[in-house]
Structure 1
């Protein structure tokens, strides 16, 4: 067994030191990390090493509200039955068989990708419900934290798990129906193929489109209320500019998502009998990919779970936003960002505090353990 311990006094009021204890004999590391919030107690996280030798947090303590970009291709995957509907004839031409096999395979693969990420989203949903229960049972005023929790929970249900389950099941049924269409010379097989790849396979995405449109309207209205509050209560500056810019992006994404889901869902129910919707579905499928990219790169985020001692207020958030924007700008445009931020002159304790304030200390510990 090898034990390693480092201690650094950060000078922060909430905690005296930071400890990293390694016990390789038990394949675990206990990390007592500093809090980003001055009135929060230090949090303790434990990491374990998997069979490949990579360390991971033993218990999930963060919400990662960032879906993979591959989910954006689900809308196109649900159009994998185009060959079965366009070349709906007997005998089936050889080129149509090839196109059916390709479309069905793509839809099948994407369905498993959707189910894989839906499992991750369900894990987030359980964590968010646990977080909400903790905040509701606490004695402090946590209206802000509960509102964020409500938004994150709705996002996971409607914008992530919902789309993945609905379109994942639809893509799976469409893939089976399209494979069956290859043997369309059999009347019973042809009938079952039309049901699976046509009406049944497209019913769930169409229903999801209506539900998601309602959620998107709620997101747009909520963002508009926040924009009006920001205009009234925030002083002109970096924080206000960034906040209003984010709100505009959220509203534009909500509009795009609502339109794409409604139109794609409606047109998908027409494809079993008509071929003309497919070019339109291609355009909206590309728009769905773009919307997923926007959410992944500009809207989605990762945050620690709120506890009963975690309080968010303007006095804390505004300086944090300004500081983090300065760091981000330096990292993006400065070739000597290290010196520009004066990190080279910091003591070890100040450097650890800097990483903690930027919410980088947890990841730093994991990288250190590798």
Structure 2
């Protein structure tokens, strides 16, 4: 893997303007924005946006505006937005300069979801009366929970708390990587398929059958985790489809929803095929192999001998073969999609750090899908051969190694966790904003590793200010893990008004700011500990998801540009008389 310096992005670096397909998309953005003024057309999802407030004079405000040198390098479209804000009399929040300007919060101004998607060029929501960010409720992009509050419920086991909201989790069990090894648990039963069974073969049968049975338990446990992810993604998909249908009925632009639907489809397929189906088919196969191998020990009985041959032979290996064929088709689809992201990024944003990050993300996905798809189909073929031929297990050796590798690669290089469809304050109408968010996430991950003791100090102007620290925590969607660590401390739990460990705790940013000042240092220390422990993985996941969003946006924009060119060329052709 390339070094951190070559693969991470600095926000200080200039970004080239997108080339032709994205220029066409940017040209449409003005039309999309004006039409999106009526974007809150669904009566059941729209309400009045919050009023515009100023944060320029707040000494505790966090960094909101890029340094002057960086602003001059940004896309001219962003400078045009700044001019519009000043013409409308809206002041941009003051940015407190830091020595490391490249790690500043990657926003010219914070644009909450409701205004980001509806009216990016005309509305700017600054800080609330407390100096923190607040998102207006009018938004047709589905959102898990409000970004300024966290609801925690008592865990079913133990005295701890768990978040009430759901999310997509990268929580694949390590043991699932050994399911292909469980597939070979019937080795002794098929090789020594005779009676009387040698003693050493009986030992191998018992070990192989037991291992297959244990792996089937892990497959069941991981399938439950995968199913929770599938339910979460299906709920978001239903809401996205409803929002898109509502917009389409009003003839409003739907590109942002198309991007989110495309990403959601791949997430859903990966969780459903690569994980849930893997656990179900391989788990059932492991159970059949376990039973068949145990029966082979008592092969003196003809009926038991026949049942053992069937279960540890064609019947036991059939689910594995079926999954291998299905999974290889899905892997090929994802591999092609990842290549499409690379091709679109090369054409739209050549020579940028965002291109390098998209390529790294897409190559990691291609490595996983290429090896996983090849290994599963070979595993299916090999498992069917092992029913009658011992040399079929030779084919399974590289399959087992590939399965362990793919499990590791997904957990560490390709998978990610996320809560909402769109990170707080991000606009997916803007290539520049997506690129900046992607580069910031990569740079932030590296910065946290460099400054482990006090990682937040690199991101805020005043690390001793609770308001500054909480604003950063809220902006970067770290409020939930921060609150989980906060309630683990019995003293702080009493301070926030929950001394008796209630069944449910709701924590808001405003309530934390209203606590006595003598408790602020302890809360700030909890925030530092949170970023130090999970910050690196958190921004790593944000980088992967941002790369998916940007790559998908560029690919869809390229497809739309091709369709427009095709229609234009067809309309210009002379009609036959």
TM-score (norm 2): 0.56
User: 1:210-289 alignment to 2 at 5 Å?
Assistant: 210-289=325-404
Is the 1:180–1:190 contact (alpha carbons within 8 Å) kept by the matching residues of 2? yes
SS of alignment partner, residue 274 of structure 1 = coil
Cα drift, residue 342 of structure 1:
5.5
1:126 aligned residue: 231
Structure 2: how far apart are the matches of 1:241 and 1:348? Answer: 36
Is the 1:167–1:205 contact (alpha carbons within 8 Å) kept by the matching residues of 2? yes
Matched, 1:330 2:435: no
Cα drift, residue 251 of structure 1:
1.2
Greater shift, 277-286 or 242-251, is seen at 277-286
Matched, 1:115 2:231: no
Structure 1: how far apart are the matches of 2:452 and 2:163? Answer: 33
Q: List structure 1 segments (4+ residues) > 6 angstroms apart after TM superposition.
A: 8-11, 32-35
2:468 aligned residue: 350
1:301 aligned residue: 416
Residues 338 and 227 of structure 1, relative CA distance in 2, 3 Å threshold: same
Output one character per residue of 1:209-268: Cα deviation in whole Å (capped at 9) or x when no partner. Answer: 011110011001111111111112225333221111111111121111111011110010
2:564 aligned residue: none
SS of alignment partner, residue 312 of structure 2 = helix
Greater shift, 348-357 or 144-153, is seen at 348-357
Residues 45 and 279 of structure 1, relative CA distance in 2, 3 Å threshold: same
Rg larger in structure: 2
TM-score (norm 1): 0.86
Of 262, 273, 287 in structure 2, the residue corresponding to residue 147 of structure 1 is 262
Of 36, 46, 68 in structure 1, the residue corresponding to residue 173 of structure 2 is 68
Output one character per residue of 1:295-351: Cα deviation in whole Å (capped at 9) or x when no partner. Answer: 1111100111338x9853433322222222112112334566638726583332222
Matched, 1:366 2:498: no
Is the 2:150–2:483 contact (alpha carbons within 8 Å) kept by the matching residues of 1? no
Output one character per residue of 1:9-32: Cα deviation in whole Å (capped at 9) or x when no partner. Answer: 8776376379xxxxxxxxxxxxx9
User: 1:85-234 alignment to 2 at 5 Å?
Assistant: 85-138=190-243, 139=246, 141=254, 142-234=257-349
Cα drift, residue 34 of structure 1:
6.6
Cα drift, residue 174 of structure 1:
0.4
Residues 14 and 165 of structure 1, relative CA distance in 2, 3 Å threshold: farther
Give the number of aligned pairs.
Answer: 347
2:163 aligned residue: 57
Output one character per residue of 1:29-66: Cα deviation in whole Å (capped at 9) or x when no partner. Answer: xxx9977xxx8883444211124111111242x11144
Is the 2:317–2:380 contact (alpha carbons within 8 Å) kept by the matching residues of 1? yes
Give structure 1 stretches of 5+ with no counterpart: 1-7, 19-31
Residues 198 and 354 of structure 1, relative CA distance in 2, 3 Å threshold: same
Structure 2: how far apart are the matches of 1:234 and 1:354? Answer: 29
SS of alignment partner, residue 184 of structure 1 = coil
Give structure 2 stretches of 5+ with no counterpart: 1-59, 63-92, 94-109, 111-124, 248-253, 489-577
